[in-house]
């Protein structure tokens, strides 16, 4: 498995943080007022906008993290702007407990991790860690199942018909930057800010493979 870089967690992150679900719909309007709408995405993408009002370029630890400017700028350079992909763990939307991911039919052994928002359920793009797996609320031994990147759960034996498959896990968004350039502004000696860092989730097209850790 190719190791992907992770967006750094830095103390200078400021509010507000913007997060926008994105769909793509082709709309054909008729003179009668009727419309034909064709949904082009099977699943929503997400666009994020972060701002950092405090980044420290010095080696001192003054509450903003030592050389946090270099960490963030270096991460952007590592990704080569829009070219590279990375993992972003949303601190408000990344941990799921008792999430239903499927119903057994006595034959199926593989289930794709998903999450539910209100009445809507969608696949999660990248499972970072699996904490527990349950059948009808009973925890299952980790010897009976395994996880494969980016988001697949496989049982050694198919869950029985009607068995509710649930799991506790953490997930991340697979993303790319929206620009090949990024502004960093210095406002005091050794103090910098990045007013708007924009990136969006992407749909991975190729199998990744590798074992998801159980913790």
Cα(123)–Cα(111) distance, integer angstroms: 10
Q: Percent of the chain scored above 90 by pLDDT?
A: 92
User: Is the model's pLDDT at 1 over the cut of 60?
Assistant: no
Question: Running DSSP on this structure, what letter comes out for residue 71?
Answer: H
Which pLDDT band holds residue 101 (cuts at 50, 70, 90)?
Answer: very high
User: Is the model's pLDDT at 172 over the cut of 60?
Assistant: yes
Name the average pLDDT for the chain.
Answer: 95
- Reduced to 3 states, what is the DSSP secondary structure of residue 149? coil
- What is the reported pLDDT for 61? 73
More reliable by pLDDT, 1 or 153: 153
- Reduced to 3 states, what is the DSSP secondary structure of residue 170? strand
Buried/exposed 93-125: b ≥16 CB within 10 Å, e otherwise: ebbbeebbbbebeeeeeebebbbeeeeeeeebb
pLDDT digits (tens, 9 = 90+) for 49-97: 999 999 999 998 788 999 999 999 999 999 999 999 999 999 999 999 9
Mean pLDDT of 118-128: 95
pLDDT digits (tens, 9 = 90+) for 131-158: 999 999 999 999 999 999 999 999 999 9
Domain boundaries defined on the chain: 13-89+174-201, 95-173
CA dihedral 51, 92, 172, 160 (to 10 degrees): -170
- What is the reported pLDDT for 206? 60
Measured CA distances, 196 to 17, 19, 183 (Å): 10, 13, 8
Which of 36, 35, 38 lies closest to 25, judged by CA? 38
- What is the reported pLDDT for 46? 98
Cα(174)–Cα(208) distance, integer angstroms: 12
Cα(213)–Cα(130) distance, integer angstroms: 6
Q: What is the model's pTM?
A: 0.92
């Amino acid at each position: 498995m190719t190791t992907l870089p992770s967006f750094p967690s830095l103390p200078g992150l400021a509010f507000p943080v913007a997060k926008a679900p994105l769909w793509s719909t082709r709309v054909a309007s008729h003179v009668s007022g009727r419309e034909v709408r064709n949904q082009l995405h099977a699943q929503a993408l997400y666009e994020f906008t972060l701002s950092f009002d405090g980044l420290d370029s010095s080696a001192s630890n003054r509450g903003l993290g030592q050389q946090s400017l270099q960490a963030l700028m270096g991460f952007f350079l590592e990704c080569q702007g829009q070219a590279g992909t990375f993992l972003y763990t949303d601190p408000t939307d990344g941990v799921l407990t008792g999430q239903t991911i499927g119903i057994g039919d006595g034959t199926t052994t593989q289930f794709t991790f998903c999450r539910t928002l209100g009445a809507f359920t969608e696949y999660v793009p990248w499972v970072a860690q699996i904490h527990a797996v349950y059948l009808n609320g009973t925890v299952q031994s980790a010897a009976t199942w395994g996880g494969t990147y980016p988001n697949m759960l496989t049982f050694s034996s198919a869950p029985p018909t009607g068995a509710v498959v649930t799991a506790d896990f953490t997930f991340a968004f697979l993303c790319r930057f929206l620009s090949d350039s990024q502004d960093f502004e210095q406002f005091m000696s050794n103090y910098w800010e990045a007013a708007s860092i924009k990136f969006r989730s992407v749909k991975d097209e190729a199998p990744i493979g590798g074992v998801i850790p159980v913790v």
